[in-house]
Structure 1
Amino acid sequence: MPHKICVIKGDGVGPELIEQSLRVLEALALNAVYEEAEAGYACYQKNGSPIPDATIESCKYNEVVLFSAITTPPNIPNYKSAIVSIRRALELYANIRPMKTYPGVPCLKENINFTIFRENTEGEYSGVEGRSGDTAFSMRVITRKASERIQRKAFDFARASGKKKVTLIHKANVLRESDGLWREVALGVAKEYASFGIEMEEVIVDAMAMRLIKEPEKFSIIVAPNLFGDILSDEAAQLVGGLGMTPSANIGDKYALFEPTHGSAPKYTGQNVVNPLAQLLSVKMMLEHLGESGRAEKLENAIINTLQAGIKTKDIGGTASTSEVVDAIISRL
């Protein structure tokens, strides 16, 4: 049976990156059928909604979603982020971002290889906001259910991958109730995995921001509440070459979506200059999720061989165009 994949091209450079991804999937001879759906600012201009109901239905119907990048304008009242809406509708509670050094890419250190598990549905992004006169407020929501499921996802990954340490990020010394609950749940989860030789260390978020720069090689699996995970993962991306090198997966119990961590970069639209590797490494993660580990490994090896040959885009020190990098990868599959 062919895999069923919903494809969302998005805005800016998103459509061209999706087209390059489909070229690679074709070269890998993946048995799949693709259904295109719309989301983002261009979709809003066309349909009056950045995330139509039909798109949510397509995401639910297909096995996985291959997503690129969208524009979320800040100045439109009641405009809802398409990707946040999809994450909520599909309960994609785990945002998983691997950070890994690759040959030929300018990095802080050569031996970085860790994965950030970010809670994806609540925290400061709960959507509970308002104003009263000259005062604005946003509610930070932390629940036992959401905390436990993302923490278990991180510990399960540690067990499956043979890792022995999970780093818990919090600010419970100040956010005593919300992060107090987050930490309380984690201590209980950690006890269940101690028999597998997995330990949990706790790091206050501001100290973690420092340690990522000082000693990133000491981490393997990091789990954090939503906002902390969002900020730390963008910081971490710069350690391994920038957002053009960092993929991500959004995973729930029933659905999964794969996307690069960078934005839509509208100023580069149609110029054939953006780094396609975050998108293609997201494709690799998608292939692994689909049980296509052989194709995933083949794709990563082709990316590594291409980088070793010095074929790379300007953002990581090269001169090649987007399509030239993809051509080189395809020739090495």
Structure 2
Amino acid sequence: MAKHRVTLIPGDGTGPELAEAMLTVLDATGVDIEWERVDAGADVMEKYGTPLPEHVLESVRKNKVAIKGPITTPVGSGFRSVNVALRKELDLYANLRPAKTYRGVKSRYENIDLVVVRENTEDLYAGVEHKVGDDAAESIKIITRKASRRIVEFAFRYARQNGRRKVTAVHKANIMKFTDGLFLEVAREVAQEYPDIEFEDRIVDNMAMQLVMKPELYDVLVMPNLYGDILSDLCAGLIGGLGIAPGANMGDEYAVFEPIHGSAPKYAGQNKVNPTALILSAVMMLRYLGETEAADRVERAVAEVIAEGKTVTYDLGGTAGTQEMARAIAERVRG
């Protein structure tokens, strides 16, 4: 069996206990993973003077794959966010966020299975903004052909590799004719190279309505940064919240897997928070590493434990602690 070296960034707040829960489940798979543990976040500020020390980046560059718990952005440090810095330094241009319903999770919907592919490097989030005198401010929206092409290609490749049937490009090209117009033009060009995958486009406000009314019509959604940030949270809402929403930031060379939710420092050390999102992020990581059978086993185990509803955390209606739920999942993984 192949041996994998993976960087583990436990994070802070509830991150370390979630990481421990995830490791309990992954150990049960029998997949041979050598973990290189490095720390980042608010807790290491004092020691290194930065929440993202250079050795953390070096570890990810060396191992090419990392999984991280949630990280608190230090307030007033002049540092925007560890997540943003990781994306920039490692050129993780694709943010991948699946949204899938699991029986036993309270939601208004059933049978949702969507994937949001969000461009990670430009758009209004490039941070090119300034004051115009005292009474106005201006933010510049940047959309390039290169970034648009690689994110749309990523979405189509993902669709093809994962047996998905359709890609929908989301935009506001009816109003922003140059920026979103360019994104849409590139999306249409790329779509012609993938005749086996159905393609359509939707205006972003209409897309928000469609997702609430007819989510079953959609499959893989690809969009610029800002819309991706907003609609991926909407999709998480469709399946019952951020507690079960996994994610990944990926580039051509590196991939960092992480849950969507924050670090919830007020619950740190209480063995209370739901470990599902990080465990499902690990499922995505196993698939990326080619360990498909193990990934399927873990996802099945998570689904069974949640559906049974006996050993689940408070937000899922149970009384189990973080580690107890992880152990229940690990037992199912072992079969």
TM-score normalised per structure 1 = 0.95
Structure 1 253/146 Cα, relative in aligned 2: closer, same or farther at 3 Å? same
**SS of match in other structure, 2:125:** coil
Query: How far apart, in 2, do the equivalents of 1:128 and 1:223 lie?
Result: 23
**SS of match in other structure, 1:97:** strand
**SS of match in other structure, 1:193:** coil
AA of the residue aligned to 1:61: K
Query: How far apart, in 1, do the equivalents of 2:278 and 2:165 lie?
Result: 29
Cα offset for 1:230?
0.8
**SS of match in other structure, 2:124:** coil
Cα offset for 1:159?
2.2
The runs of 5 or more residues in structure 1 that have no matched partner are none
Query: How far apart, in 1, do the equivalents of 2:241 and 2:116 lie?
Result: 15
Contact kept in structure 2, 1:12 and 1:268, CA below 8 Å = yes
Within 5 Å, which residues of 2 pair with 1:155-234?
A: 155-194=156-195, 196=196, 198-234=197-233
Query: How far apart, in 1, do the equivalents of 2:93 and 2:69 lie?
Result: 19
Cα offset for 1:207?
1.2
Question: Do structure 1's residue 327 and structure 2's residue 315 form an aligned pair?
Answer: no
Contact kept in structure 1, 2:271 and 2:321, CA below 8 Å = yes
Cα offset for 1:64?
0.7
* Higher relative contact order, chain-length normalized (CA < 8 Å, sep 6+): 2
Structure 1 24/212 Cα, relative in aligned 2: closer, same or farther at 3 Å? same
* Residue matched to 1:133: 133
Question: Do structure 1's residue 235 and structure 2's residue 234 form an aligned pair?
Answer: yes
* Residue matched to 1:44: 45
* Residue matched to 2:289: 290
Cα offset for 1:77?
5.1
Query: How far apart, in 2, do the equivalents of 1:161 and 1:28 lie?
Result: 22
Cα offset for 1:129?
2.7
Query: How far apart, in 2, do the equivalents of 1:16 and 1:301 lie?
Result: 22
* Residue matched to 2:91: 91
**SS of match in other structure, 2:43:** helix
**Paired positions, count:** 330
**SS of match in other structure, 2:192:** helix
Contact kept in structure 2, 1:50 and 1:80, CA below 8 Å = no
AA of the residue aligned to 2:249: N
Q: Report the aligned-residue RMSD.
A: 1.4
Query: How far apart, in 1, do the equivalents of 2:330 and 2:165 lie?
Result: 36
* Residue matched to 1:146: 147
Contact kept in structure 2, 1:3 and 1:63, CA below 8 Å = no
Query: How far apart, in 2, do the equivalents of 1:323 and 1:77 lie?
Result: 33
* Residue matched to 1:60: 61
Contact kept in structure 1, 2:153 and 2:190, CA below 8 Å = yes
- Sequence identity of aligned pairs in percent? 50
AA of the residue aligned to 2:166: K
Query: How far apart, in 1, do the equivalents of 2:117 and 2:323 lie?
Result: 31
Contact kept in structure 2, 1:130 and 1:136, CA below 8 Å = yes
